[in-house]
Structures are given as C-alpha cells and as structure tokens.
Homo-oligomer: A and B are copies of this chain.
Amino acid sequence: MTKGPLRVVIVGAGFAGLNAAKALRQEPVHITIVDRRNFHLFQPLLYQVAAAALNPSDIAYPIRSIFRRQENVRSVLLAEVTGINLSDKTLSLDDASVLPYDYLILATGATHSYFGHDDWEEVAPGLKTLEDALLLRQRILAAFEEAERNPDDADRLLTFVVVGGGPTGVELAGALIEIAVHSLGKEFDVIDPTRARVLLVEGAPHVLPVYPEDLSDSARRQLETLGVEVLTGTMVSEIDEGGVTLSDGRRIESGLVLWAAGVQASKLGDILGVETDRTGRVHVEGDMSVPGHREVFVVGDLATVPGVPGVAPAAMQMGRHAGRMIEADLRMRSRFPFHYRNKGALATIGRARAVADFGQVRFGGFLAWVAWLAIHIFYLIGFRNRVLVLISWAWSYLTFRRGARIITGVPRLPEKGEP
C-alpha cells in the first residue's frame, strides 16, 4: 500500500463507472477515470440521434464537466487500456504509460455482436456509439434522397429491415416508420415516402422477449398499428448489399438493414484474463469483485450476474455497489452482496406509444410513453440538456418535424496517433 490516499482507477464512464465514482464522493481517495472518449453517452436515447430527433451533444456530456465539483476525482484520462497486471496492480495504457491502482473498477460495457458474421457489419450497421447513430441517420435520410433520384429502385431502397426485436430494435422500427410517414411524407416530388416498408425481424416468438407476454403483445400491436411488419420466430440467414434472406428462405430486397440483435462484452474481460461467459462477460463474486482479487471490481454490462438484465438502471446499481464496497473497506466494515432492485422496464415504440412494466403494474400506450419521457429526461445529465431535449421533443411532437434532419459526412473515429 502507498502512504497517500488510496488510488481508485475506474475504466469506462458509462452508467456503471459514473455511479461508482459518485458513490465514492465523500471518501478520502484519489479517483482516476479512464475512457476512450471525452464524454458520457446517454445510450438509451441513442436511437433518437439516429432518428434525427436529437443532436449528438443532447445525449453526450463531457466527463470533466460531470466531475468539475467532485474534488477527489483527480484525473480524467482519454486513453485505452491495453493491459492489466493483477499482481503488480497496474494498467498499461495505449500511450505506453503505466497506471498503478489500489482499487480497480472495470466498467467498459458491451458492443454489438454479429454472431460470428462480422462481414455483416458493413451492410447492417449497429447502434452503440454516437458515430453509429450519425451513420444510421445519414443512411436513413440518404435512402429517401436516393429513391427520389432512382424511382425505379424505390421499392427496394425504401424497405428497411431491423434485425432484433429487443428495446433498441422496437424503438428504431417505430422511429423509422414515423420518419417516413410523418416527417418526410409530403416533402418529395417523385416518391411517396409514406409507402416505405419497415420490417422488424426477431428470432424469439415475441418482440421484447424479456418482457411479460402481455406487454410483448401490446408492443407488437402498437408497432403494427404504426405500420411496421413484425416477423417473430424468424432468423436472418444472410445479409448482403441487396437485402436479407430469412431462415424460412424468403428473400427481402432492402436498401438498408439495421442491426439491433447481438451483444458482446468489451474486450477488457479477455485482457483481464479471468473466466467469462460466451458473450465475454466476467463472472464476479457476490460483491461484484473478481474471484481472488478483492481490489478489482467488474460492473455494468461487462459483468454477468444471474437474474440481472443488461439495462441502464442495473449498471448504475452495480457501479454504486462497487463504490460502496470500497467505502466499506475504508471504514473497516464488512462487505455485503449486490442485490438488484428491479425498478421496472420501459420501452417506447414511437410518438406517444410505449410499454411499461413496473411489476404489479403493467400498461401500454400513451401513459407508458409519458412515464418513459419523464424518467428519461430526469436521468439526462445536465440542466441544459434536459431543457433542450424537452424543447426538441415538444417541437417534434407538435409539428411532426425532426430538428436534426441533416445529412452530414460519415463520422470516422480518429486513428491511433491522430490528434
């Protein structure tokens, strides 16, 4: 142990990492936060950026600003972890520097998985980063423009296939049909955007498969009312530039396939060199620490805990728990196991449509959407963001227009070594 304050290093500034740091707010420790990006991303609203309803910075907030007033956050590093030495208690970073820790909290989350079909990524972009969202936005809007210029190919170009019927897939499918019908409906001369088709393909027998069946049915009905074609119990066997082939042999010609299916944990589980499940998530002890290393915690989507879903509230709770375990150590109290509090689940389907599952109380439709709106705005970090997002939504809701409907260049992440 060093003589100064204990050094806590948190890798990843998502919901889990942020909440770990905040839980340690009062403690006499030195916190270092390491992230590849300079911002926290409010991932539940990422699809709204893809759907041209929100701006990137509406849902992204600089990490440095978040901890501006938390004195014990001593350092925020824009870096990638390339190695972890559990016996030396050090991290290697991509600029070849070495970062020592007394406590380590790993919270680098998950990305999408193409189930071994990595070649599909090129033709069926997913939705995990801001760059993904801007790329999707560009492709969605460009599809209508291309159809306008090539009306003979409009049927294919304006058929959108969303693969995966979880919350992201359901939200994207609902948003897509609303863009076509309400936002663009009357603005083209040659094509009729309202004739665009949106298909939602889900392998399980129901959309939102982790929700209770009555809510899954409600979601399906709401989607179909909007005009989405819902194909459950159906897998995708092939994706190429011209469209998708389904498991039943059907071929769907499509101009844009969106991937909202698999999840793969960040590669930090591998770098850690401990036991993971088949999606790369790390098995943890009851207190969220790594077996044999009480000073290393894995939280959020990078950890696998039986019965705990991969949703934002669970990540927040896990992060907070890791912080509390360090607090318990510092105060010579005993650690206690993580207990997940299910605060309910919400998924939106489009303008004024949603499903809500608060255990005993389950409902769909407008009321669920209001609940969804209130909770998401409440959790959005930063006063300004809340106000701006609220105005953006009110405007979209009242006018059916989309404020961020501009096609900009394809964002490309800087290469290593680039500024």
Contact = CB atoms under 8 A, between A and B. Distances in A.
A78 B149 contact: yes
A388 B385 contact: no
A399 B68 CA distance: 13
Given A388-B388, A392-B384, A410 B408 contact: no
A65 to B, nearest CB: 7
Given A138-B414, A388-B388, A388-B392, A57 B405 contact: yes
A224 B86 CA distance: 52
Interface in A77-120: 77-79, 95, 97
A337 interface: no
- What is the total number of copies of this protein in its complex? 2
A134 B131 CA distance: 13
Chain B CB within 10 A, most for which of A60, A64, A76, A97:
A64
Contacts of A412: 409-412
A392 B384 CA distance: 8
A161 interface: no
A192 to B, nearest CB: 14
Chain B CB within 10 A, most for which of A131, A384, A387, A395:
A384
A77 B145 CA distance: 8
Contact of A401 (B65, B150, B186, B255): B65
A39 B64 CA distance: 33
A261 B257 CA distance: 43
Given A189-B75, A395-B384, A95 B149 contact: yes
B408 A131 contact: yes
Closest 10 CB pairs of A and B: A409-B411, A64-B187, A55-B55, A57-B404, A409-B413, A39-B406, A60-B406, A384-B395, A78-B145, A131-B409
A294 interface: no
Interface of A: 37-39, 55-58, 60-62, 64-65, 68, 74-79, 95, 97, 130-131, 134, 138-139, 141-143, 145-146, 148-150, 184, 186-190, 255-256, 383-385, 387-388, 391-392, 395, 399, 401, 403-414, 418-419
Chain B CB within 10 A, most for which of A39, A62, A95, A412:
A62
Contacts of A256: 419
B414 A409 contact: yes
Chain B CB within 10 A, most for which of A39, A57, A148:
A57
17 contacts: A38-B145, A39-B405, A55-B56, A56-B406, A61-B406, A74-B189, A95-B149, A95-B150, A130-B406, A138-B414, A142-B414, A256-B419, A383-B395, A388-B391, A388-B392, A409-B412, A412-B412
Nearest to A399: B384
A38 B406 contact: yes
Nearest to A415: B410
